[in-house]
Structure 1
Amino acid sequence: MTYEGVLTKMQTELGNPIQYYLVFENSFLNLNQLLDKELEITFQGYQCLNCGKKKKIFRQGFCYDCFMSSASAGDWIMKPELSTAHLAIEDRDLEYEMKVQLQPHIVYLALSSEVKVGVTRKTQVPTRWIDQGAIQAVPIVEVPNRYLAGITEVALKNHFADKTNWQKMLKNEVPPTDLLEERLKTEALLPNEVRNYFFNQEAQLYQMNYPVLNYPKKVTSLSLDKTPNFQGKLSGIKGQYLLFQDGTVFNVRTFEGYVVRISI
Protein backbone atom coordinates (compact mmCIF):
# COMPACT_ATOMS: atom_id res chain seq x y z
CA MET A 1 0.00 0.00 0.00
CA THR A 2 1.18 3.50 -0.83
CA TYR A 3 0.21 6.88 0.63
CA GLU A 4 1.31 10.23 -0.81
CA GLY A 5 1.02 13.79 0.39
CA VAL A 6 2.40 16.78 2.25
CA LEU A 7 3.72 16.05 5.72
CA THR A 8 2.06 17.87 8.60
CA LYS A 9 2.48 17.07 12.26
CA MET A 10 0.87 13.81 13.34
CA GLN A 11 -2.65 14.12 14.69
CA THR A 12 -3.10 12.48 18.09
CA GLU A 13 -5.86 11.08 20.25
CA LEU A 14 -5.39 10.54 23.97
CA GLY A 15 -5.83 6.84 24.72
CA ASN A 16 -3.99 3.95 26.29
CA PRO A 17 -1.81 4.03 24.29
CA ILE A 18 -2.06 7.35 22.41
CA GLN A 19 -3.33 6.95 18.84
CA TYR A 20 -1.32 8.57 16.03
CA TYR A 21 -2.51 9.58 12.55
CA LEU A 22 -0.77 10.94 9.48
CA VAL A 23 -3.35 13.00 7.59
CA PHE A 24 -2.94 13.67 3.86
CA GLU A 25 -5.25 15.54 1.50
CA ASN A 26 -7.08 12.43 0.27
CA SER A 27 -6.23 9.81 2.88
CA PHE A 28 -5.01 9.18 6.40
CA LEU A 29 -2.92 6.54 8.13
CA ASN A 30 -3.39 5.16 11.65
CA LEU A 31 0.29 4.67 12.47
CA ASN A 32 -0.33 2.47 15.52
CA GLN A 33 -1.42 -0.28 13.12
CA LEU A 34 1.98 -0.14 11.40
CA LEU A 35 4.03 -1.09 14.47
CA ASP A 36 6.44 -3.94 13.70
CA LYS A 37 5.92 -3.41 9.94
CA GLU A 38 8.38 -2.28 7.26
CA LEU A 39 7.88 1.29 6.01
CA GLU A 40 9.55 3.09 3.14
CA ILE A 41 9.61 6.90 3.17
CA THR A 42 10.52 8.66 -0.08
CA PHE A 43 11.01 12.43 -0.37
CA GLN A 44 9.35 13.87 -3.49
CA GLY A 45 9.40 17.66 -3.17
CA TYR A 46 8.13 20.63 -1.19
CA GLN A 47 4.82 22.40 -0.69
CA CYS A 48 4.66 25.43 1.61
CA LEU A 49 1.90 24.99 4.20
CA ASN A 50 1.03 28.68 3.94
CA CYS A 51 1.11 29.66 0.23
CA GLY A 52 0.91 26.14 -1.21
CA LYS A 53 3.74 26.83 -3.67
CA LYS A 54 6.33 24.17 -4.41
CA LYS A 55 9.11 26.23 -2.81
CA LYS A 56 11.90 24.92 -0.57
CA ILE A 57 10.79 24.77 3.05
CA PHE A 58 12.63 27.18 5.33
CA ARG A 59 11.11 26.55 8.78
CA GLN A 60 7.90 25.30 10.42
CA GLY A 61 6.56 24.05 7.08
CA PHE A 62 6.81 27.54 5.52
CA CYS A 63 8.91 28.78 2.61
CA TYR A 64 11.26 31.66 3.44
CA ASP A 65 8.90 34.40 2.25
CA CYS A 66 5.94 33.06 4.24
CA PHE A 67 8.03 32.48 7.35
CA MET A 68 9.19 36.10 7.26
CA SER A 69 5.71 37.55 6.62
CA SER A 70 3.00 35.21 7.98
CA ALA A 71 1.27 36.22 11.21
CA SER A 72 1.42 32.59 12.36
CA ALA A 73 5.24 32.66 12.34
CA GLY A 74 5.83 35.77 14.47
CA ASP A 75 8.48 35.79 17.22
CA TRP A 76 5.75 35.67 19.89
CA ILE A 77 4.96 32.08 18.86
CA MET A 78 8.27 30.83 20.28
CA LYS A 79 8.59 33.64 22.85
CA PRO A 80 5.13 34.22 24.36
CA GLU A 81 6.47 37.06 26.52
CA LEU A 82 6.76 39.14 23.31
CA SER A 83 2.97 39.03 22.82
CA THR A 84 1.41 42.50 22.47
CA ALA A 85 -2.19 41.88 21.38
CA HIS A 86 -3.42 42.64 24.92
CA LEU A 87 -2.10 46.18 24.32
CA ALA A 88 -3.72 46.26 20.84
CA ILE A 89 -0.21 46.53 19.34
CA GLU A 90 0.26 44.72 16.04
CA ASP A 91 3.23 42.51 15.19
CA ARG A 92 2.17 41.31 11.71
CA ASP A 93 -1.64 41.03 11.77
CA LEU A 94 -3.48 42.33 14.84
CA GLU A 95 -6.76 40.53 14.09
CA TYR A 96 -5.00 37.15 13.95
CA GLU A 97 -2.81 37.94 16.95
CA MET A 98 -5.81 38.96 19.07
CA LYS A 99 -7.59 35.73 18.14
CA VAL A 100 -4.64 33.55 19.19
CA GLN A 101 -3.10 35.56 22.03
CA LEU A 102 -6.26 36.72 23.82
CA GLN A 103 -7.52 33.32 24.90
CA PRO A 104 -6.87 31.16 27.96
CA HIS A 105 -3.31 29.84 28.18
CA ILE A 106 -1.85 27.21 30.51
CA VAL A 107 1.62 27.35 32.02
CA TYR A 108 2.61 23.80 32.95
CA LEU A 109 5.30 21.44 34.13
CA ALA A 110 5.89 18.36 31.98
CA LEU A 111 8.14 15.35 32.34
CA SER A 112 9.64 14.34 29.02
CA SER A 113 13.38 14.12 29.71
CA GLU A 114 13.60 16.18 32.90
CA VAL A 115 11.03 18.52 34.43
CA LYS A 116 10.38 21.35 32.00
CA VAL A 117 8.18 24.43 32.07
CA GLY A 118 6.11 25.41 29.04
CA VAL A 119 3.15 27.37 27.69
CA THR A 120 0.19 26.22 25.63
CA ARG A 121 -3.24 27.44 24.67
CA LYS A 122 -5.89 25.74 26.79
CA THR A 123 -7.42 24.29 23.62
CA GLN A 124 -4.12 22.42 23.02
CA VAL A 125 -4.33 20.36 26.22
CA PRO A 126 -3.20 17.53 26.17
CA THR A 127 -2.02 17.67 22.51
CA ARG A 128 0.94 19.91 23.36
CA TRP A 129 2.27 17.47 25.94
CA ILE A 130 1.86 14.49 23.63
CA ASP A 131 3.77 16.36 20.90
CA GLN A 132 6.65 16.84 23.34
CA GLY A 133 6.72 13.18 24.35
CA ALA A 134 5.89 13.98 27.98
CA ILE A 135 4.90 10.99 30.12
CA GLN A 136 3.29 13.28 32.72
CA ALA A 137 2.17 16.90 32.88
CA VAL A 138 0.46 19.18 35.39
CA PRO A 139 -0.96 22.71 34.87
CA ILE A 140 0.44 25.45 37.12
CA VAL A 141 -1.75 28.43 36.16
CA GLU A 142 -4.43 29.26 33.65
CA VAL A 143 -4.20 32.90 32.52
CA PRO A 144 -6.38 34.92 30.12
CA ASN A 145 -3.71 35.78 27.53
CA ARG A 146 -0.41 34.68 26.02
CA TYR A 147 1.61 37.57 27.45
CA LEU A 148 0.88 36.60 31.07
CA ALA A 149 1.75 32.99 30.27
CA GLY A 150 4.99 34.18 28.67
CA ILE A 151 6.22 36.25 31.63
CA THR A 152 5.36 33.33 33.93
CA GLU A 153 7.43 30.96 31.81
CA VAL A 154 10.35 33.41 31.81
CA ALA A 155 10.24 33.60 35.63
CA LEU A 156 10.17 29.81 35.97
CA LYS A 157 12.89 29.17 33.35
CA ASN A 158 15.45 30.19 35.97
CA HIS A 159 14.45 27.13 38.00
CA PHE A 160 13.27 24.57 35.43
CA ALA A 161 14.42 23.52 31.95
CA ASP A 162 12.39 24.98 29.09
CA LYS A 163 13.47 22.54 26.38
CA THR A 164 13.17 18.78 26.03
CA ASN A 165 16.31 16.71 25.61
CA TRP A 166 14.89 14.83 22.62
CA GLN A 167 17.47 12.04 22.76
CA LYS A 168 16.72 11.22 26.41
CA MET A 169 13.00 11.48 25.69
CA LEU A 170 13.24 8.98 22.84
CA LYS A 171 15.40 6.58 24.84
CA ASN A 172 12.90 6.92 27.72
CA GLU A 173 15.65 8.07 30.10
CA VAL A 174 13.29 9.92 32.43
CA PRO A 175 14.14 10.27 36.15
CA PRO A 176 11.30 9.46 38.58
CA THR A 177 9.83 12.80 39.69
CA ASP A 178 6.86 13.95 41.76
CA LEU A 179 5.40 16.61 39.47
CA LEU A 180 2.72 17.67 41.97
CA GLU A 181 5.44 18.39 44.51
CA GLU A 182 7.49 20.29 41.91
CA ARG A 183 4.38 22.32 41.05
CA LEU A 184 3.98 23.47 44.67
CA LYS A 185 7.48 24.98 44.50
CA THR A 186 6.40 27.25 41.64
CA GLU A 187 3.89 29.33 43.62
CA ALA A 188 6.58 31.40 45.32
CA LEU A 189 8.33 31.97 41.96
CA LEU A 190 5.36 33.37 40.05
CA PRO A 191 5.29 37.02 38.89
CA ASN A 192 2.94 39.23 40.94
CA GLU A 193 0.59 39.68 37.95
CA VAL A 194 -0.23 35.97 37.83
CA ARG A 195 -0.11 34.94 41.48
CA ASN A 196 -3.90 35.15 41.80
CA TYR A 197 -4.27 32.60 38.98
CA PHE A 198 -2.39 29.85 40.80
CA PHE A 199 -4.66 26.81 40.95
CA ASN A 200 -5.41 26.33 44.62
CA GLN A 201 -7.62 23.35 43.96
CA GLU A 202 -6.01 19.93 43.59
CA ALA A 203 -4.04 19.99 40.35
CA GLN A 204 -4.81 17.31 37.79
CA LEU A 205 -1.87 15.12 36.84
CA TYR A 206 -2.06 13.96 33.22
CA GLN A 207 -0.46 10.63 32.24
CA MET A 208 0.60 9.76 28.69
CA ASN A 209 1.32 6.25 27.44
CA TYR A 210 3.00 5.92 24.03
CA PRO A 211 2.79 3.09 21.47
CA VAL A 212 6.41 1.90 21.70
CA LEU A 213 7.43 -1.76 21.37
CA ASN A 214 10.99 -1.07 22.46
CA TYR A 215 13.03 2.05 23.14
CA PRO A 216 16.33 2.57 21.29
CA LYS A 217 19.67 2.56 23.14
CA LYS A 218 21.13 5.01 20.59
CA VAL A 219 19.28 7.33 18.23
CA THR A 220 20.18 8.67 14.79
CA SER A 221 18.04 11.36 13.15
CA LEU A 222 16.71 10.77 9.67
CA SER A 223 16.99 13.84 7.43
CA LEU A 224 15.07 13.70 4.16
CA ASP A 225 17.50 16.27 2.72
CA LYS A 226 20.42 13.89 3.22
CA THR A 227 18.55 10.58 2.88
CA PRO A 228 15.63 11.04 0.46
CA ASN A 229 14.73 7.35 0.64
CA PHE A 230 14.60 5.35 3.88
CA GLN A 231 13.31 1.90 4.73
CA GLY A 232 12.94 0.45 8.21
CA LYS A 233 10.74 -1.43 10.66
CA LEU A 234 8.56 0.82 12.86
CA SER A 235 9.10 0.04 16.54
CA GLY A 236 7.38 2.99 18.21
CA ILE A 237 5.89 6.48 18.11
CA LYS A 238 6.58 9.12 20.74
CA GLY A 239 6.20 12.88 20.67
CA GLN A 240 6.26 13.72 16.96
CA TYR A 241 8.86 11.03 16.24
CA LEU A 242 8.68 7.71 14.41
CA LEU A 243 11.09 5.22 16.01
CA PHE A 244 12.63 2.49 13.88
CA GLN A 245 14.17 -0.81 14.95
CA ASP A 246 17.70 0.18 13.87
CA GLY A 247 17.72 3.29 16.11
CA THR A 248 16.78 5.70 13.31
CA VAL A 249 14.25 8.33 14.45
CA PHE A 250 12.21 10.60 12.20
CA ASN A 251 10.82 13.89 13.50
CA VAL A 252 7.68 14.38 11.41
CA ARG A 253 7.25 17.97 12.58
CA THR A 254 10.70 19.00 11.38
CA PHE A 255 9.73 17.96 7.85
CA GLU A 256 6.31 19.60 7.62
CA GLY A 257 5.80 20.90 4.09
CA TYR A 258 7.82 18.04 2.54
CA VAL A 259 5.95 15.93 0.02
CA VAL A 260 6.51 12.22 0.67
CA ARG A 261 5.42 8.80 -0.49
CA ILE A 262 5.01 6.19 2.25
CA SER A 263 4.96 2.56 1.19
CA ILE A 264 4.00 -0.28 3.52
Structure 2
Amino acid sequence: MVKVASFNFDESEILQELYAQVLEANGYTIERHPRLGTREIVEPALEKGDIDLVPEYLATLEAFLAKDQTKATSDPAATQKALQDLLTPKNITVLDFAQAIDTNGFVVTKATADKNKLAKMSDLQPVAGQMVLGGPPECPQRPFCLQGLMRVYNLQFKDFKPLDAGGPLTVAALDSGDVDVGLLFTTDPNITLKNYTLLDDDKHLQLADNVAPVVRNDILTRGTDAKTLLNGVTAKLTTADLTDMNKQVGIDHKDAKDVAKAYLTSKQLLR
Protein backbone atom coordinates (compact mmCIF):
# COMPACT_ATOMS: atom_id res chain seq x y z
CA MET A 1 0.00 0.00 0.00
CA VAL A 2 1.39 3.38 -1.06
CA LYS A 3 -0.38 6.49 0.23
CA VAL A 4 -0.06 9.24 -2.37
CA ALA A 5 -1.10 12.80 -1.51
CA SER A 6 -1.40 16.20 -3.16
CA PHE A 7 -1.68 19.84 -2.14
CA ASN A 8 -4.91 21.82 -2.42
CA PHE A 9 -4.63 22.90 -6.08
CA ASP A 10 -5.29 21.33 -9.49
CA GLU A 11 -1.72 20.89 -10.69
CA SER A 12 -0.76 18.99 -7.56
CA GLU A 13 -3.69 16.61 -7.99
CA ILE A 14 -2.67 16.01 -11.63
CA LEU A 15 0.88 15.19 -10.52
CA GLN A 16 -0.47 12.92 -7.76
CA GLU A 17 -2.42 11.01 -10.43
CA LEU A 18 0.55 10.70 -12.79
CA TYR A 19 2.70 9.06 -10.11
CA ALA A 20 -0.13 7.03 -8.53
CA GLN A 21 -1.36 5.57 -11.83
CA VAL A 22 2.10 4.41 -12.94
CA LEU A 23 2.60 2.60 -9.64
CA GLU A 24 -0.93 1.20 -9.78
CA ALA A 25 -0.43 -0.15 -13.31
CA ASN A 26 2.63 -2.00 -12.05
CA GLY A 27 0.99 -3.86 -9.19
CA TYR A 28 1.12 -1.37 -6.32
CA THR A 29 -1.99 -0.77 -4.20
CA ILE A 30 -2.60 2.97 -3.96
CA GLU A 31 -4.47 4.97 -1.36
CA ARG A 32 -5.10 8.51 -2.58
CA HIS A 33 -5.19 11.58 -0.33
CA PRO A 34 -6.12 14.32 -2.82
CA ARG A 35 -5.96 18.00 -1.84
CA LEU A 36 -4.79 17.18 1.66
CA GLY A 37 -3.96 20.85 2.35
CA THR A 38 -0.99 23.21 2.35
CA ARG A 39 2.63 22.20 2.91
CA GLU A 40 2.18 23.02 6.60
CA ILE A 41 -0.16 19.98 6.74
CA VAL A 42 1.31 17.72 4.05
CA GLU A 43 4.98 17.76 5.06
CA PRO A 44 4.40 16.68 8.71
CA ALA A 45 2.06 13.93 7.42
CA LEU A 46 4.88 12.65 5.19
CA GLU A 47 7.38 12.75 8.06
CA LYS A 48 4.98 10.83 10.34
CA GLY A 49 4.21 8.23 7.68
CA ASP A 50 0.52 9.15 7.34
CA ILE A 51 1.36 9.51 3.64
CA ASP A 52 4.23 8.00 1.63
CA LEU A 53 4.62 10.15 -1.47
CA VAL A 54 3.86 13.71 -2.53
CA PRO A 55 4.87 15.55 -5.71
CA GLU A 56 6.92 18.56 -4.60
CA TYR A 57 8.70 21.66 -5.86
CA LEU A 58 12.44 21.66 -5.05
CA ALA A 59 13.19 25.21 -3.90
CA THR A 60 9.93 25.78 -2.03
CA LEU A 61 10.27 22.58 -0.01
CA GLU A 62 13.97 23.23 0.67
CA ALA A 63 13.22 26.74 1.96
CA PHE A 64 10.25 25.45 3.98
CA LEU A 65 12.45 22.89 5.77
CA ALA A 66 15.60 25.01 6.07
CA LYS A 67 13.74 28.07 7.42
CA ASP A 68 16.30 30.91 7.45
CA GLN A 69 19.23 28.68 6.48
CA THR A 70 17.97 28.08 2.96
CA LYS A 71 20.49 26.97 0.33
CA ALA A 72 17.94 26.95 -2.49
CA THR A 73 19.20 28.57 -5.70
CA SER A 74 18.14 28.82 -9.32
CA ASP A 75 20.24 25.67 -9.99
CA PRO A 76 17.97 22.61 -9.65
CA ALA A 77 20.79 20.09 -9.07
CA ALA A 78 22.29 22.14 -6.23
CA THR A 79 18.84 22.76 -4.76
CA GLN A 80 18.00 19.05 -4.95
CA LYS A 81 21.22 18.19 -3.10
CA ALA A 82 20.49 20.77 -0.37
CA LEU A 83 16.97 19.37 -0.08
CA GLN A 84 18.20 15.77 0.19
CA ASP A 85 20.55 16.77 3.03
CA LEU A 86 17.48 18.00 4.93
CA LEU A 87 15.38 14.92 4.10
CA THR A 88 17.97 12.21 4.85
CA PRO A 89 17.54 12.33 8.66
CA LYS A 90 13.77 12.04 8.12
CA ASN A 91 14.15 8.82 6.05
CA ILE A 92 12.71 10.54 2.98
CA THR A 93 14.19 10.73 -0.52
CA VAL A 94 13.71 13.33 -3.23
CA LEU A 95 13.79 11.49 -6.56
CA ASP A 96 14.85 12.88 -9.95
CA PHE A 97 13.54 16.35 -10.81
CA ALA A 98 11.61 17.16 -13.98
CA GLN A 99 12.38 19.74 -16.63
CA ALA A 100 8.90 20.99 -15.66
CA ILE A 101 9.15 24.00 -13.39
CA ASP A 102 6.38 25.96 -11.74
CA THR A 103 7.04 29.00 -9.62
CA ASN A 104 4.96 31.74 -8.09
CA GLY A 105 4.17 34.32 -10.75
CA PHE A 106 2.79 37.78 -10.08
CA VAL A 107 0.33 39.00 -12.66
CA VAL A 108 -1.67 42.14 -13.45
CA THR A 109 -4.42 42.74 -15.99
CA LYS A 110 -3.37 44.27 -19.29
CA ALA A 111 -5.20 47.49 -18.31
CA THR A 112 -3.21 47.76 -15.06
CA ALA A 113 0.05 47.02 -16.91
CA ASP A 114 -0.66 49.66 -19.56
CA LYS A 115 -1.76 52.30 -17.08
CA ASN A 116 1.30 51.88 -14.82
CA LYS A 117 3.82 50.78 -17.49
CA LEU A 118 4.45 47.45 -15.76
CA ALA A 119 6.57 44.74 -17.38
CA LYS A 120 8.79 43.53 -14.56
CA MET A 121 8.49 43.14 -10.80
CA SER A 122 10.70 46.12 -9.98
CA ASP A 123 8.32 48.35 -11.97
CA LEU A 124 5.83 47.88 -9.10
CA GLN A 125 8.05 49.73 -6.63
CA PRO A 126 6.67 53.27 -7.15
CA VAL A 127 2.99 52.14 -7.33
CA ALA A 128 2.73 49.21 -4.86
CA GLY A 129 1.62 51.57 -2.07
CA GLN A 130 -1.66 52.13 -3.93
CA MET A 131 -2.14 48.47 -4.81
CA VAL A 132 -3.76 45.42 -3.23
CA LEU A 133 -1.95 42.07 -3.56
CA GLY A 134 -4.02 38.89 -3.69
CA GLY A 135 -2.70 35.41 -3.02
CA PRO A 136 -2.93 32.28 -0.88
CA PRO A 137 -3.62 32.82 2.85
CA GLU A 138 -0.11 31.57 3.71
CA CYS A 139 1.57 34.16 1.39
CA PRO A 140 2.54 36.64 4.17
CA GLN A 141 4.59 33.90 5.91
CA ARG A 142 6.28 32.61 2.76
CA PRO A 143 9.79 33.56 1.57
CA PHE A 144 8.80 33.38 -2.12
CA CYS A 145 5.62 35.39 -1.58
CA LEU A 146 5.05 38.55 0.50
CA GLN A 147 8.22 38.19 2.60
CA GLY A 148 10.35 37.93 -0.53
CA LEU A 149 8.52 40.76 -2.30
CA MET A 150 9.36 43.03 0.61
CA ARG A 151 12.93 41.79 1.02
CA VAL A 152 14.05 41.50 -2.61
CA TYR A 153 11.90 44.13 -4.31
CA ASN A 154 11.19 46.43 -1.37
CA LEU A 155 7.46 46.35 -2.16
CA GLN A 156 5.02 47.66 0.43
CA PHE A 157 1.48 46.99 -0.76
CA LYS A 158 -1.52 48.95 0.48
CA ASP A 159 -3.15 45.69 1.56
CA PHE A 160 -3.02 41.90 1.20
CA LYS A 161 -6.16 39.93 0.39
CA PRO A 162 -6.12 36.21 1.29
CA LEU A 163 -7.64 34.25 -1.63
CA ASP A 164 -6.58 30.80 -2.90
CA ALA A 165 -3.42 29.10 -4.17
CA GLY A 166 -3.38 30.38 -7.73
CA GLY A 167 -6.99 29.39 -8.27
CA PRO A 168 -10.37 30.72 -9.43
CA LEU A 169 -10.73 33.19 -6.51
CA THR A 170 -7.51 34.95 -7.52
CA VAL A 171 -8.55 35.06 -11.19
CA ALA A 172 -12.00 36.45 -10.26
CA ALA A 173 -10.47 39.08 -7.94
CA LEU A 174 -8.08 40.25 -10.69
CA ASP A 175 -10.92 40.47 -13.21
CA SER A 176 -13.22 42.38 -10.82
CA GLY A 177 -10.46 44.76 -9.68
CA ASP A 178 -10.68 43.56 -6.05
CA VAL A 179 -6.92 43.03 -6.24
CA ASP A 180 -4.41 44.77 -8.49
CA VAL A 181 -1.66 42.15 -8.39
CA GLY A 182 -2.39 38.44 -8.08
CA LEU A 183 -0.28 35.38 -7.42
CA LEU A 184 -0.78 32.73 -10.09
CA PHE A 185 1.49 29.80 -10.82
CA THR A 186 3.61 30.30 -13.93
CA THR A 187 2.01 27.17 -15.48
CA ASP A 188 -1.49 28.69 -15.18
CA PRO A 189 -3.28 28.67 -18.56
CA ASN A 190 -5.35 31.69 -17.44
CA ILE A 191 -2.29 33.93 -17.94
CA THR A 192 -2.45 33.44 -21.72
CA LEU A 193 -6.22 32.96 -21.90
CA LYS A 194 -7.00 36.26 -20.14
CA ASN A 195 -4.07 38.17 -21.59
CA TYR A 196 -2.65 38.96 -18.14
CA THR A 197 0.82 40.43 -17.90
CA LEU A 198 3.13 38.05 -16.04
CA LEU A 199 5.66 40.41 -14.45
CA ASP A 200 9.24 39.40 -15.14
CA ASP A 201 11.05 38.33 -11.96
CA ASP A 202 13.99 40.61 -12.77
CA LYS A 203 15.72 40.22 -9.39
CA HIS A 204 15.29 36.42 -9.33
CA LEU A 205 13.22 35.98 -6.20
CA GLN A 206 11.81 32.68 -7.48
CA LEU A 207 14.22 29.77 -7.52
CA ALA A 208 14.47 26.23 -8.96
CA ASP A 209 10.96 24.98 -8.32
CA ASN A 210 11.30 21.96 -10.56
CA VAL A 211 8.79 19.19 -9.92
CA ALA A 212 10.11 16.15 -8.04
CA PRO A 213 8.38 13.46 -5.99
CA VAL A 214 9.44 13.05 -2.38
CA VAL A 215 9.00 9.53 -1.05
CA ARG A 216 9.45 7.73 2.24
CA ASN A 217 12.46 5.42 2.05
CA ASP A 218 10.51 2.33 3.13
CA ILE A 219 8.48 2.52 -0.13
CA LEU A 220 11.69 2.56 -2.17
CA THR A 221 13.17 -0.39 -0.29
CA ARG A 222 9.93 -2.40 -0.34
CA GLY A 223 9.56 -2.41 -4.13
CA THR A 224 12.70 -2.41 -6.22
CA ASP A 225 11.00 -0.83 -9.24
CA ALA A 226 9.19 2.07 -7.50
CA LYS A 227 12.09 4.45 -8.01
CA THR A 228 12.49 3.52 -11.69
CA LEU A 229 8.76 3.87 -12.36
CA LEU A 230 8.50 7.28 -10.67
CA ASN A 231 11.64 8.61 -12.35
CA GLY A 232 10.24 7.40 -15.68
CA VAL A 233 7.28 9.77 -15.34
CA THR A 234 9.46 12.69 -14.21
CA ALA A 235 11.85 12.26 -17.14
CA LYS A 236 9.07 12.99 -19.64
CA LEU A 237 7.43 15.93 -17.88
CA THR A 238 7.93 19.41 -19.37
CA THR A 239 6.58 22.80 -18.29
CA ALA A 240 4.44 22.91 -21.46
CA ASP A 241 2.95 19.48 -20.60
CA LEU A 242 2.06 20.72 -17.14
CA THR A 243 0.46 23.93 -18.45
CA ASP A 244 -1.58 21.92 -20.96
CA MET A 245 -2.84 19.47 -18.32
CA ASN A 246 -3.68 22.40 -16.00
CA LYS A 247 -5.79 23.87 -18.81
CA GLN A 248 -7.66 20.60 -19.31
CA VAL A 249 -8.53 20.39 -15.60
CA GLY A 250 -8.91 24.05 -14.62
CA ILE A 251 -10.53 25.50 -17.74
CA ASP A 252 -12.02 22.54 -19.65
CA HIS A 253 -13.21 20.94 -16.36
CA LYS A 254 -11.89 17.48 -17.13
CA ASP A 255 -11.16 15.06 -14.31
CA ALA A 256 -7.51 15.02 -13.14
CA LYS A 257 -7.55 11.20 -13.22
CA ASP A 258 -8.58 11.10 -16.89
CA VAL A 259 -6.15 13.84 -17.93
CA ALA A 260 -3.26 12.05 -16.20
CA LYS A 261 -4.21 8.72 -17.79
CA ALA A 262 -4.34 10.21 -21.30
CA TYR A 263 -0.94 11.85 -20.79
CA LEU A 264 0.72 8.67 -19.45
CA THR A 265 -0.73 6.67 -22.33
CA SER A 266 0.51 9.20 -24.89
CA LYS A 267 4.02 8.95 -23.43
CA GLN A 268 3.92 5.11 -23.42
CA LEU A 269 4.15 5.09 -19.62
CA LEU A 270 0.97 3.02 -19.29
CA ARG A 271 0.74 -0.22 -21.19
Q: What TM-score results when the alignment is normalised by the length of structure 1?
A: 0.26
Greater share of residues in strand = 1
Greater share of residues in helix = 2
